[in-house]
Amino acid sequence: MAEDVSERQRLEDQLRQAQKVEAVGQLAGGIAHNFNNLLTAILGYTELLLARSDPNSADRADLEEIRNAGEKAAALTGQLLAFSRKQAQMPEDVDVNSTVTGLQGMLRRVVREDISLTFDLAPTPALISIDPNELEQVILNLALNARDALPTGGHIRLEVAHADSPEALNPNSPVLPPGEYVRLSVSDDGDGIAPSVRPHLFEPFFTTKPAGKGTGLGLASVYGIVQRSNGFISVDTELGRGTTFTLHFPALPRSRPVQVTPADRWPSPPVEHTQEERTILLVEDEDSVRSVASALLRQQGYHVLDASTPRAALAIFEQHAREIDLLLTDVVMPEMSGPALAQRFVGMRPELQVLFISGYATPALAREMENPKMKFLSKPFQGSALVAAVRDIFNQAA
Q: Where do the domains of the chain lie?
A: 2-84, 92-250, 275-397
Say which range, 111-120, 177-186, 273-282, has the weakest mean pLDDT: 273-282
Amino acid at 239: L
- DSSP alpha helix (H) spans, the chain: 2-52, 58-84, 96-110, 132-148, 218-228, 287-299, 310-320, 338-348, 363-368, 383-397
> What per-residue confidence (pLDDT) applies to 273?
45
Average pLDDT of the chain is 80
- 290 phi, psi to nearest 5 deg: -60, -40
Q: What is the pLDDT of residues 93-113, one digit of tens each?
A: 999 999 999 999 889 888 888
Residue 345 has pLDDT above 90, yes or no: yes
Residue 296 has pLDDT above 90, yes or no: yes
Q: What is the pLDDT of residues 25-65, one digit of tens each?
A: 555 555 666 778 888 889 999 989 988 888 888 888 888 89
Query: What pTM was estimated for this model as a whole?
Result: 0.56
Residue 396 has pLDDT above 60, yes or no: yes
CB 326 within 8 A of CB 253: no
Label the pairing between strands 154-165 and 115-120: parallel
358's enclosing H/E stretch is strand 353-358
> What per-residue confidence (pLDDT) applies to 270?
37
The domain covering 92-250 belongs, at the CATH homologous superfamily level, to Histidine kinase-like ATPase, C-terminal domain (3.30.565.10)
Give me the count of residues in the chain. Answer: 398
223's enclosing H/E stretch is helix 218-228
β-bridge mates for residue 374, sequence order: 354
Residue 215 has pLDDT above 80, yes or no: no
Confidence of residue 205 (pLDDT cuts 50, 70, 90): low
Comparing C-alpha atoms, which of 243, 139, 144, 228 is closest to residue 191?
243
Confidence of residue 386 (pLDDT cuts 50, 70, 90): very high
Whether 92-250 shares its CATH topology with 275-397 is answered no
> What per-residue confidence (pLDDT) applies to 8?
61
Residue 353 has pLDDT above 70, yes or no: yes
Q: Does domain 275-397 have CATH number 2.60.40.2470?
A: no
Residue 92 has pLDDT above 60, yes or no: yes
> What per-residue confidence (pLDDT) applies to 93?
92
Mean pLDDT of 82-99: 75
Residue 383 has pLDDT above 70, yes or no: yes
β-bridge mates for residue 100, sequence order: none
Residue 211 has pLDDT above 90, yes or no: no
User: How far is it, in rounded angstroms, from Cα 356 to Cα 339?
Assistant: 8
Confidence of residue 194 (pLDDT cuts 50, 70, 90): confident
Say which range, 102-116, 263-277, 352-366, has the weakest mean pLDDT: 263-277
